[in-house]
Amino acid sequence: MLLKTSTEQWELQWRRPDAKLASIKGEPISASIWLQDVAAATYWLNEQKGDALLYQRDWYRFSVWFFALLESKKRIILPANDKPATLSELSSQYAFRVPEELPSKGRSDAPSLILKGDLDSPLTFFTSGSSGKPKAVEKTLRQLWLEVETLERTFADKLGQTDILATVTHQHIYGLLFTVLWPLAAGRSVTLPLVDYPEQLQQLLAKADGRRYALVSSPAHLQRLDNLPQLSQHKNALTMVFSSGGPLPGSVPNNFADNELQAPIEVYGSTETGGIAWRQRNPGASDSFKPLAGIEVSCDNNDILVIQSPYLKEPQRPYTTEDKVQLQGQGCFLLLGRQDRVTKIAEKRVSLNEVEQFIQQHEWVESAKACVLHSPRVELGLVLVLNSAGNAELNAQGRFKVRQELRHHLQQRFEKVVVPKRFRYVAQLPYNGAGKVTQADLQALFEEEK
């Protein structure tokens, strides 16, 4: 590990100036070049006052500005996106936005190979939340570095000296940890740009030439990997796949197994809690999650998961999550879904989780999300991704017949008055950059129908 921490300080130290930190379209980026850019950005930031909003789509510029902000002791504001409405809502939270481009002055200076700073440097993540409105989550770098150290202890033996590929943004805590902080701390190179399409991943693996990769991804992307047979031809180059940001459908690890690939490692957690637990559903493996080292789990009287975690502001204080679980042996647990998704339709209580889980048992349905609509009466809407059989029925019978069949299926479990009346068929669910599906994005699909 290049990372060292003391009581109050963190430090990254490279042994050689030509140590490869990243590669961009095949061109290596050395630690010395990156450190020069961090020094130049720090110099520019030292002339600015107040908290800084950091949003950069480019991994390299993001990483430079992120560490320069730490060096200049600025609070870092990390929005979920840079849409005008989001920035307008956050305008009172920051004094200036970090520029798109990096400053050029100081590039020729010979930098130190040591980067250091305060462990209590503050960051604020703004997540989209279930309603789509920004929600502030305060963190310190101490919490993030602690999690990085745990991730390295947990997965280093399997990872080894792999290069990191990613499909996820670094603006969210999962991407920040897995594609920026952890690789830098462990001395693993990041391959850029981000992987957007299955074909890109296939091409990279085909040209690996002895290199080994770990893919940091999300359920949204992994469900779209329709070239697993081709990827399996290069399975020695793909050491590990990580997935986080939301539940991974069981069909994904099954498809990996069918093509002789190791199942993705699913990391369960949240922006508020950091990482909590992980699992890898290879054939014969349990579906239960295993807590990361240092995490203590229990549940309350309603079977809601309660944790104590070193990644929380108050590590010894029990934190109640929003997820229902079933405790297993040795601290492991089965995840049963969110507990806060109960609404009333015509004075009848209905769980959106139960609606989604039951409709996904139908032979035509790949995945589903329910949402509450106000148009003008309160009713449920259902957004569906059909499998090949379902799409064949949709083409043959039309929307009305398919909707009729699915509603009949739901009425085997739910009272007719609460069964969704409005359906939307999509090729994929509307995942945001964090791999989440918000109520606001689901509702927008029904607005488009008007």
Q: CATH code for 3-287?
A: 3.40.50.12780
242 phi-psi bin (left φ>0, alpha ψ -120 to 50, beta other): beta
Residue 17 has a pLDDT of 93
Compute the distance between CA of residue 325 and CA of residue 409 in angstroms, rounded to an integer. 26
Read off the tokens for 316.
């010894």
Compute the distance between CA of residue 211 and CA of residue 201 in angstroms, rounded to an integer. 14
pLDDT tens digits, one per residue of 421-432? 999 999 999 887
CA distances from 99 to 22, 56, 57, 287 (A): 22, 9, 12, 45
Compute the distance between CA of residue 287 and CA of residue 254 in angstroms, rounded to an integer. 12
Residue 434, helix vs strand vs coil: coil
Compute the distance between CA of residue 302 and CA of residue 305 in angstroms, rounded to an integer. 9
Residue 448 has a pLDDT of 62
Helix (H) or strand (E) holding 313: none
Which segments in the chain show pLDDT lower than 50? Answer: 131
Residue 83 has a pLDDT of 81
Instruction: List the chain domain ranges.
Output: 3-287, 342-447
Fold of 342-447: GMP Synthetase; Chain A, domain 3 (3.30.300)
Residue 132 has a pLDDT of 52
Residue 351 has a pLDDT of 82
Residue 104 has a pLDDT of 85
Other CB atoms within 10 A of residue 149 CB:
19
Give the chain's radius of gyration (CA, Å): 23
Read off the tokens for 1.
């590990």
| Side chain identity, residue 219 | P
Residue 416 has a pLDDT of 86
pLDDT tens digits, one per residue of 60-113? 999 999 999 999 999 999 998 888 878 888 999 999 999 999 998 655 555 689
Residue 129 has a pLDDT of 56
Residue 31 has a pLDDT of 95
Q: What pTM did the predictor assign?
A: 0.81
* CA neighbor of 43 nearest in space, from 51, 31, 35: 35
Kindly give the residue spans of alpha helices, DSSP state H, lying in 72-117: 84-89
